[in-house]
Amino acid sequence: MISQGQSLTQETLVGHYAGLTSRLLAFIIDTIILSVIILFTSWFVATTWRLLQLGPIFSELDQRSTILANLTMVITSPLFYSLITLLFIASYYIFFWTIAGQTPGKGIMGLRILSRRGNRLKLRFAILRYIGYYLSIIPFGMGIIWILIDDRRLAWHDKLAGTCVVYAWEAKPDETFLTIETSKLIARTQAVRAYLEKKRKAG
Amino acid sequence: MGHEAPGSPKRRSNIFSLTRLVIGGALAGYDGLVKRLAHSEAELDIKDPAIIGPAGEMDNTSQYPSDNVLSDNESQSDRLRYAVIGLIFDTEGTINKGLDTADQLSLRAGRLFDRVASPIYGSRIFSPIRSRVDKLAQRGQYEVDRWIELGRKEEQRSRELAQTALTEQVDNSIQYLTSNSEVQELVQSQSVGLIGEIVEETRERTVSADYYIEAWARTILRRPMRSELPEPPQELKIRALPFKRIQGKIIKK
């Protein structure tokens, strides 16, 4: 089916599974974007509310109808705002995953979410993936840390929705840096292990 | 129609404005040049204090050339050139000195002439002429005073006019630059290029960090380090690229 695609990806990591740092950085960028949008929207809504003096109007209406009073109570409650915010965050992720295969944060970091067969994410899988986010974060982020252990760098939410995150740019790791630093790391680990072994025997 | 009489107020006003602009520009330019030159001279003095100043500023010890000045590497024409340049600078000092001396001498001569001529000038024979000469001198003095007053006012106005014209010109230039689409494109492309470089650098570093942190985590968890990641399916490699780039590369059966 594909003939020239191989030449595209011979020397770079295009289409290879993305690691934890890139994904975490993309997540942080998305969080910043979302925070800015939410803060600005909250400020705008609060200012409009004050400017149009909606508070006195609603209290006036509350006195006339019980249904309206209940409705006002719901609208002005912090729980309602929290739900709206959560819904907005979910919509942000799900919308970008299904439309573009990447959120703005992932776009900046050059990452793309695909199904494990290489197809674009469908809505139901995107929703499932978003639910999986919470499942990954709640047990002390174990589902996210799983990326470091898994052979295909899949988090729990990826496993749940059948997705994977890949590099969407011609990524190349710094070989020299990695060779030097990894060998240092191995040497240090071996030294620690030898010390612990020695201590265990002595004990 | 449209032709102004030579002495009409509008034509006079235009010439006045132009004159003011020329004078103001010259004054402002002269001030700027003098400031710039003084600054450069000060910098040069700091860098090489051994440079000989104008003739008037030289002390006695520096008037005689050292061995370095008459170097063997220099040809006769070089020395001649230096001598002419030195003469020009020395002449400037000498002329200044000479002018001072001439000024003092003329003052003394004037006093002497006044002393000698005052008995004749103050005599009765010269009294009818004296009043006319005094009136003439008075009129001349009045004319000079008027010129001084006019010059004082005009200098101020000329400077203001030149400053306004310059500011307006600079503003217009900036406005032109900001509204010019080519300049805007240039600035945008530079900014985009810079942002692109930052993003590229961040991505490269995070890719390396992906591998390093993984190695670190695997060491802690006592899992074997992997030499390379498992090869992803070919579809993933292709679909990972932006659609426009895939279009040109995929050949469908």
Give pLDDT tens digits for A165-181.
999 888 888 777 777 87
Between chain A and chain B, the number of residue pairs with CB atoms below 8 A apart is 146
Q: Is the pLDDT of residue B2 over 50?
A: no
ipTM above 0.90, yes or no: no
Domain boundaries, chain A: 10-167, 174-203
Is residue B204 within 8 angstroms of chain A, CB to CB?
yes
Query: Cα distance from B221 to chain A (closest Cα, Å)?
Result: 9
Average pLDDT, chain B: 76
Q: A47-84 pLDDT, tens per residue? A: 888 888 887 887 777 777 788 888 888 887 888 889 99
- Helix and strand element counts for chain A (H, E): 10, 2
Asked whether B4 and B10 are in contact (CB, 8 A), the reply is yes
Residue indicated by tokens 């200012």: A47
Q: Is the pLDDT of residue A164 over 90?
A: yes
How far is it, in rounded angstroms, from Cα B224 to Cα A110?
28
Q: B148-181 pLDDT, tens per residue? A: 888 888 888 888 888 888 888 888 888 888 788 8
CB-based contact B203 A15, cutoff 8 Å: no
Query: Cα distance from A147 to chain B (closest Cα, Å)?
Result: 9
Cα A148–chain centre separation: 16
Q: To the nearest whole percent, how much of chain B has pLDDT over 70?
A: 79
CB-based contact B210 A6, cutoff 8 Å: no
CB-based contact B204 A25, cutoff 8 Å: no
Q: Which two tokens stand for residue A188?
A: 């240090």
Residue type, A27: F
Is residue A110 within 8 angstroms of chain B, CB to CB?
yes
Is residue A176 within 8 angstroms of chain B, CB to CB?
no
pLDDT of amino acid B243: 54
Query: Cα distance from A120 to chain B (closest Cα, Å)?
Result: 9
How far is it, in rounded angstroms, from Cα A35 to Cα B93?
74
User: Can you tell me the mean pLDDT for B199-219?
Assistant: 87
Sign, CA dihedral A103-A106-A111-A116, equals negative
Which residues in chain A touch residue B234, judged by CB atoms under 8 angstroms apart? Answer: 2, 5-6
Residue A6: C-alpha distances to residues A160, A163, B242 (Å): 29, 22, 15
Which residues in chain A touch residue B202, judged by CB atoms under 8 angstroms apart? Answer: 25, 109
Provide φ and ψ at A138, rounded to 5°.
-55, -50
Does residue B2 come out as left (phi exceeding 0), alpha (psi in the -120 to 50 range) or beta? left
Contacts of B60 (CB under 8 A, 6+ apart): none
User: Can you tell me the mean pLDDT for B226-246?
Assistant: 72
pLDDT of amino acid A9: 41
How far is it, in rounded angstroms, from Cα A153 to Cα B82?
79
Contacts of B89 (CB under 8 A, 6+ apart): B54, B55
Is residue B216 within 8 angstroms of chain A, CB to CB?
yes
Asked whether A81 and A123 are in contact (CB, 8 A), the reply is no
Nearest CA in chain B to A101: B240
* Number of C-beta neighbours around residue A129 at 10 A: 22
Q: Which two tokens stand for residue B142?
A: 């009045």
